[in-house]
């Protein structure tokens, strides 16, 4: 019975998400980014005559990772602003009171909404990512070495952020929860770049900034693992000077870090369920 309720709310969340204006804005931004990337890669292909094969792969990898970061940012914006109204908006409108008047557990409702948002965010990442890979392959004849790993980690990054947005939506307004979630996403990425600079300069204190930020919010760590899966594995050996470039990753994500990211999602989702259970409707 509980599983059917969870799946029912997941399906309802998907249907509701498809009707929101945020999704239309998400689609427009994605189409614009893909169109710009197609034009950019076509221009890059026109310049390959002046590049060596290694330089061509380096350029293709860096531009692909840059575009994929843009797609991950669009996914972050979309899922954060979809997660915001999921709880807070329904509480403000009185919808939650009507739904929970029946013998339905609040945790089941929250889990169903979370599953629906995960399905939406992961579906967006897969469709947009595969489209981008097709553009790169058609224009510069480059295909990422580990596309499944890259897309899976981008989907995990989206899941982490929407889980945070869901927690925030149980305590603050829908708009505020989306803004805070996206702000933390950006701050964590910047902290990761700062940490990379500190590592390059041999400054352990500055490098620690990136490490701590990736533990507090795993989005940047998962993003760097995704980059490693999308880039040519021989590039950093051929061009070691680019090792600290923000859109290249020196090492794949570790199993321990993936376990931490999974535990982080479970803990945050559990806290969200507890706060929602104790909140007055």
Distance (Å, rounded) from C-alpha 219 to C-alpha 156?
A: 8
What are the tens digits of pLDDT across the range 133-176?
A: 999 898 888 888 899 999 999 999 999 998 998 898 888 877 78
Q: What is the pLDDT of residue 170?
A: 84
Residue 63 banded pLDDT, cuts 50, 70, 90: confident
Share of the chain above pLDDT 70, in %: 83
The per-residue pLDDT for 133 is 93
Tell me the CA end-to-end span of the chain in Å, nearest whole number. Answer: 24
CA angle 119, 125, 129 (to 5 degrees): 150
Short-list 195, 185, 246, CA closest to 217 = 185
Which residue did the predictor score with more confidence, 47 or 184? Answer: 184
pLDDT at 89: 56
Whether the pLDDT of residue 96 is over 60: the answer is no
**Residue 129 in this model has a pLDDT that exceeds 90:** yes
pLDDT, tens digit (0-9, with 9 covering 90-100), for 241-266: 555 566 677 778 999 999 999 999 99
| Whole-number Å distance between alpha carbons of 126 and 191 | 27
Q: Which residue has the higher pLDDT, 125 or 236?
A: 125
User: Tokens 């990753």 sit at which residue?
Assistant: 249
The structure tokens listed for 17 are: 């998400």
Query: Which is more confidently placed, 86 or 242?
Result: 86
The domain total for the chain is 1
Does residue 44 surpass a pLDDT of 80? no
- On whether the CB atoms of residues 174 and 88 are closer than 8 A, the answer is yes
CA dihedral 196, 202, 208, 214 (to 10 degrees): 20
User: What pTM did the predictor assign?
Assistant: 0.87
How many residues are recorded in the chain?
Answer: 281
Residue 136 Rama label (left phi>0; alpha psi -120 to 50; beta) = alpha
Q: Looking at residues 101-116, what average pLDDT do you find? A: 77
**Residue 159 belongs to what domain range?**
2-278
pLDDT higher than 80, residue 110 = yes
Catalogue the long-range contacts made by 106-110 (C-beta closer than 8 Å, 24 or more residues apart): 106/273, 106/276, 106/277, 107/273, 107/276, 107/277, 108/2, 108/5, 108/6, 108/9, 109/5, 109/9, 110/166, 110/269, 110/272, 110/273, 110/276
Q: How far is CA 1 from CA 103, 104, 105, 270, in A?
A: 12, 10, 11, 21
Is pLDDT larger for residue 12 or for residue 152?
152
Do 64 and 136 touch, CB atoms closer than 8 A?
Answer: yes
Cα radius of gyration (the chain):
20
Determine the pLDDT at residue 257.
Answer: 95
Helix (H, G, I), strand (E, B) or coil at 245: coil
Share of the chain above pLDDT 90, in %: 22
Which comes out higher in pLDDT, residue 94 or 36? 36
Contact criterion met (CB below 8 Å) for 218 and 261: yes
Sign of CA dihedral 242, 218, 156, 251: positive
């Amino acid at each position: 019975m509980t599983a059917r309720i969870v799946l029912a709310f997941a399906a309802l969340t998907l249907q509701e998400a498809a009707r929101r204006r945020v999704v239309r804005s998400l689609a427009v931004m994605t189409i614009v980014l893909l169109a710009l990337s197609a034009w950019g890669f076509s221009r890059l292909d026109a310049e390959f005559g002046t590049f060596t094969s290694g330089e061509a792969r380096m350029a293709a990898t860096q531009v692909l990772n840059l575009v994929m970061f843009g797609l991950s940012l669009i996914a972050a914006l979309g899922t954060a602003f979809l997660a915001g109204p999921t709880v807070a908006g329904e509480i403000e409108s009185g919808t939650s009171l009507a739904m929970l008047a029946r013998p339905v557990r609040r945790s089941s409702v929250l889990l169903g909404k979370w599953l629906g948002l995960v399905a939406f965010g992961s579906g967006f990442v897969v469709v947009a990512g595969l489209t981008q890979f097709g553009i790169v392959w058609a224009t510069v004849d480059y295909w990422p070495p580990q596309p499944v790993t890259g897309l899976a980690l981008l989907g995990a990054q989206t899941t982490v952020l929407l889980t945070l947005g869901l927690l925030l939506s149980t305590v603050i307004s829908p708009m505020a929860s989306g803004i805070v979630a996206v702000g933390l996403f950006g701050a964590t990425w910047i902290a990761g770049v700062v940490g990379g600079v500190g590592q390059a300069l041999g400054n352990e204190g500055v490098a620690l900034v990136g490490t701590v930020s990736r533990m507090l919010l795993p989005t940047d760590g998962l993003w760097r693992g995704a980059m490693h899966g999308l880039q040519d594995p021989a590039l950093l050996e051929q061009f070691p000077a680019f090792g600290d470039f923000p859109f290249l990753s020196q090492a794949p994500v570790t199993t321990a870090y993936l376990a931490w990211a999974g535990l982080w999602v479970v803990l945050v989702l559990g806290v969200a369920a507890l706060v929602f259970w104790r909140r007055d409707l």
